[in-house]
Structure 1
Amino acid sequence: MSAINTQGEMLTERQDASSAKKWELILYPLTALGGNCFMLLMMIVSFYAAGIVGLGTVIASFIITGSRVLDGFLDPFMGYLVDKTNGKLGKVKLFLLLGFVVMSISTALIYYTAYLVPDEMRTVYFMGLYALYIIGYTLYVIAARSGYAILTKDPKQRPIFGAAEAIYMSFFAAGGAIYLSSYLAPKYGGFSDPGLFQEFTLVVIAVAGTCMAIGLFVIWPKDRIENYGDGNPVIIKFKDMWPILKGNRPLQMFIVAAATDKLSMQIQGNQVINVMLFGIIMGNFALLGTVTSIAIIPNILLIVFGMRYASKVGLKKGLVATTWLAIFATTLLVVVLWLGDPTQIAFNDWGFMTIAFLVLFLIAGAARSLATAYVVPMIPEIIDYEAYRSKRFTPGIVTSLYTFVDKLVSSLAQTVIGLVLAMIGFRAAFPDLDTPYSETLFWVTMFLAFGVLIIGWIATLIAMKFYKLDKAKMDEIAEVLEARRQENMDAG
């Protein structure tokens, strides 16, 4: 009887290690939400740096870009550090906490002190703090993404945390937009009062800290050596990075698809672009918060449907179908804004422009959210593929190789915005709510808000032609890794 009980306990431990409870799959993605809280806070840093600190649009844009490029080069070292760490605090817990602390301190110092230092020191001071923030953000993201590969190895479960993270982001985007456009901006009279940024910082630290604590609670019992890959840890060396990138074709194609999409969404999601689209072209910036809140329902519906579809046909096929939908809806949206009168878009005027804009904007936004959601479970797929291919569990290295290229590319977002707007006359400050409308401003907004998205999605479709991790391949990988893990456990 004792032997039977022991075998049953071992089987239960194996099942628990290779899969996760549904509540764990649903709660752990809140960890990513914590990082996105800080990302939203720093998406308005250009207003602060250019207008309040007094750096000017071009200098502020280049500082932000330079800091992200520097951090991109630091990413591989941080990923290597994560994979080399196998102590009592595991791979995830320590770096989640450290990343959060660094982000909290650096953002608080930026928004509370940068405009108070002497003029001759402001550029260097702001640059150093922004670089420190990026380093903390990288530590946090690498740890959070590594946790997904540890939490479950079941390909059918992973779309669940992809859907959960996307749903959280939908509510967060709506809440953040409403909080910023309908509360903070009116309260402080725009983006020229330091109080707006300081109040926002305190709220972000509180919300992100709660999300981080929940993530720690979920991942804590699983962040152990026996749950890393096939349960047989190997020595990772820094020189292993190049062979991993060179030999892992799915990682290469994923980087192309995800990095180009990230660049386009960083540009499109910048608050400067929202001010131009809703505040200047439509003449109603508060409409942003209303539309974003309405978008929650279609976003959730499409995410749930899309992830259920992906659990049956695979993440690759789901991403391709979603990308085509996003291209179609976004193209039609540009045509409607071009041929119609955007100032007629209002919820007290339910004419053609309001209905057409709302329908196409919601469809395009939902497809964009779903495409982003696919990125979350695809990273653990690639981590498992590397363990299957080379017998090395390297979540930190795989994640950091992706974030390295991703940041080098996406770091261009602020520079692209700054240079494009400087070309049409906005050199000292970015367009604000009182900026007059012009035809040139309209087409620049169409390019920055929608054109860059379409270009990124086309790159995704091309990359997916060479991404071989379809449903059949991932089922095979899961079976092989589980068989190896059981062999290693039986061998002690």
Structure 2
Amino acid sequence: MNKQSKLSAGAKASYGLGAVGKDMVYMLSASYVLYYFQDILGVSAVAMGAILMAARVFDAFNDPIMGMIVAKTKTRFGKFRPWLLIGTITNAIILYMMFTAPPTLKGSGLVVYAAVTYILWGVTYTMMDIPYWSMIPAFTEGGKEREGLTTLARSCAGVGSAIITIVTVMSVSALGRMFGGEGITDREVERVGFSYFTLGVAVLFIAFTVICCLSVKEKSTVDMDSPSIGEMFKALIQNDQAMAVVVAIVIVNCSIYITSNLVIYFFKYDFGGTDWRGAYTLFSTFGGGMQILAMMLLYPFLRRFFTSIKIYYISMGMAIAGYISLLVLASTSMNNVYLLFIPGFFIFAANGMLSVITTVFLANTVDYGELKNGRRDESVIFSMQTFVVKLASGVSAFIAALSLQMLALSNDTAEAAEAVDYSLGVGAMQKMGLRMTMTIIPIAGLVFAIFWFSKKYILTDEKIEEIAAEIAEEKRKIA
């Protein structure tokens, strides 16, 4: 691509399509692997929690390694697309294997199978994810084109996640009944359904990535920054504001991810009813929509009247209010899913705005670090964001799994025929324990994050303007 050429609409759409497939796969694993192995196949919740945490922590450390491998790759097809295609194909195969565990496996054999497939899934996902995002400079010329493509890809990724959130539970049930045969248990319906549903997602994932690779032509020579783990932590130690934001991201994400891991159990074993899948799907659809609208509309609207720091506190207050109202509503005898839209609005909208705000805060710490340390650590700081999000995901999955083990919540709690109301087999103390884990622990985490952030973060809008002016003055003197 020469310098004057513009990226075609078809190339942009194809790149966005790659993001749709990529995040469909990510959301399927992130949201349902614990449920599949623990609730459907009967793997110990503690074992699954340990596997999920260890795998995600390993995956977080694996990112910089994969980045260095991609950076050193040289082929006639470029350095990014070969890994993107290889990673996609292997990840799709592993994804299908992960959700198609052999029925004959039991006990320790099933635990080993879960551990091996999940770790391999994380490794192969990184193999594809790193080159996908890193290749943007290889076929754009910077400025508005690059910013626009990044925004498009992030939006398409949100669409992919939303699709899985909305269709998975109902599709799994329908496919399980279609291909599972007559007279099988509800657990078997879900086991078979997940296998066929995952196969469909894996095929779409490969197809979308192939379209992306064929439509996007990367330049032959593009440098790629790939910071090591050591560089990440060095940058954090030397940049107290980056440290403040990173710690806040970890705590906030841990708090929210605990709820996202447990919400399907809430609908199945607490909210209950024979149509719990429909209620869960409706709630998830509403929540996903609110999260996207908050990112695209609510945050820009509030930004016209408030600083980013004030919106951060508003968002945290909204999330806490949402969790309190969720606990209150869940503790009553209500069975109307639409009432849950009230806490859902506050929690999902807050999460959407926080995802935008924390990225803004990280960008501010780059300027601060340049003034303080004399260098810009953009690639290091933003690689750290991926690292800590994965770390938070692992920790929250472990906490959620531990709570399931303590509460003894699984399909064994209410084994019965299909269309059963699982909540009838769950005791009042178990239900209350689930509600408190979903709400009290996140509230405590968010309160701590507010306290931490208020004490540590100093980069107000005025301070950022001062820093920008000082940096400009230093550059002027050097020039």
Interval of TM-score (by shorter of Structure 1 and Structure 2): 0.7 to 0.9
* Residues 71/160 of structure 1: CA separation in 2 closer, same or farther (3 Å cut): closer
Correspondence for 1:439 among 412, 425, 428: 428
Aligned residue number for residue 350 of structure 1: none
- Secondary structure of the residue aligned to 1:55 is coil
Contact kept? 1:106, 1:132, Cα under 8 Å: yes
User: By how many angstroms is 1:103 displaced?
Assistant: 1.8
Contact kept? 2:256, 2:442, Cα under 8 Å: yes
Contact kept? 1:34, 1:212, Cα under 8 Å: yes
User: By how many angstroms is 1:458 displaced?
Assistant: 3.1
Correspondence for 1:327 among 294, 307, 320: 320
Which whole-Å CA distance do the structure 2 matches of 1:25 and 1:320 have between them? 36
* Residues 39/236 of structure 1: CA separation in 2 closer, same or farther (3 Å cut): closer
- Secondary structure of the residue aligned to 2:100 is helix
Contact kept? 1:302, 1:367, Cα under 8 Å: yes
Q: Deviations over 1:350-396 (max 9, x none)?
A: xxxx4x4323322332222332344566666667876786556663x
User: By how many angstroms is 1:187 displaced?
Assistant: 4.5
Aligned residue number for residue 264 of structure 2: 274
Which runs of 5 or more structure 1 residues have no equivalent in the other structure?
1-8, 347-353
Contact kept? 2:25, 2:205, Cα under 8 Å: yes
Which whole-Å CA distance do the structure 2 matches of 1:219 and 1:390 have between them? 36
Aligned residue number for residue 100 of structure 2: 112
Aligned residue number for residue 188 of structure 2: 192
Which whole-Å CA distance do the structure 2 matches of 1:54 and 1:279 have between them? 16
The normalised TM-score by structure 1 is 0.72
Which whole-Å CA distance do the structure 1 matches of 2:411 and 2:15 have between them? 43
* Residues 192/168 of structure 1: CA separation in 2 closer, same or farther (3 Å cut): same
User: By how many angstroms is 1:417 displaced?
Assistant: 2.2
Which whole-Å CA distance do the structure 2 matches of 1:157 and 1:322 have between them? 29
Q: Deviations over 1:303-355 (max 9, x none)?
A: 222342487677555444333322233323323333x4222x15xxxxxxx4x
Which runs of 5 or more structure 2 residues have no equivalent in the other structure?
178-185, 416-420
User: By how many angstroms is 1:195 displaced?
Assistant: 1.8
Amino acid at match of 1:38: V
Which whole-Å CA distance do the structure 2 matches of 1:222 and 1:51 have between them? 47
* Residues 264/240 of structure 1: CA separation in 2 closer, same or farther (3 Å cut): closer
Which whole-Å CA distance do the structure 2 matches of 1:211 and 1:93 have between them? 13
- Secondary structure of the residue aligned to 2:408 is coil
Q: Deviations over 1:396-448 (max 9, x none)?
A: x4444344444334212332222222223348857785243433233223233
Contact kept? 2:19, 2:157, Cα under 8 Å: no
User: By how many angstroms is 1:269 displaced?
Assistant: 1.6
Correspondence for 2:26 among 39, 46, 61: 39
- State which drifts further: 87-96 or 73-82: 87-96
Q: Which aligned pairs between 1:83-102 and structure 2 lie closer than 5 A?
A: 92-102=80-90
Q: Deviations over 1:94-125 (max 9, x none)?
A: 54334323321211222335445687644334
* Residues 104/251 of structure 1: CA separation in 2 closer, same or farther (3 Å cut): farther
Aligned residue number for residue 245 of structure 1: 236
Amino acid at match of 2:431: F
Correspondence for 1:292 among 274, 284, 297: 284
Q: Which has the higher contact order (CA 8 A, sep 6+)?
A: 1
Correspondence for 1:257 among 248, 251, 258: 248
- 2:196 is the alignment partner of 1:205: no
Correspondence for 1:165 among 151, 154, 160: 154
Which whole-Å CA distance do the structure 1 matches of 2:288 and 2:311 have between them? 20
- 2:351 is the alignment partner of 1:368: yes
Contact kept? 1:146, 1:399, Cα under 8 Å: no
- 2:70 is the alignment partner of 1:78: no
Contact kept? 2:98, 2:118, Cα under 8 Å: yes
Which whole-Å CA distance do the structure 1 matches of 2:460 and 2:9 have between them? 24
Q: Which aligned pairs between 1:346-357 and structure 2 lie closer than 5 A?
A: 354=338, 356-357=339-340
Aligned residues: 452
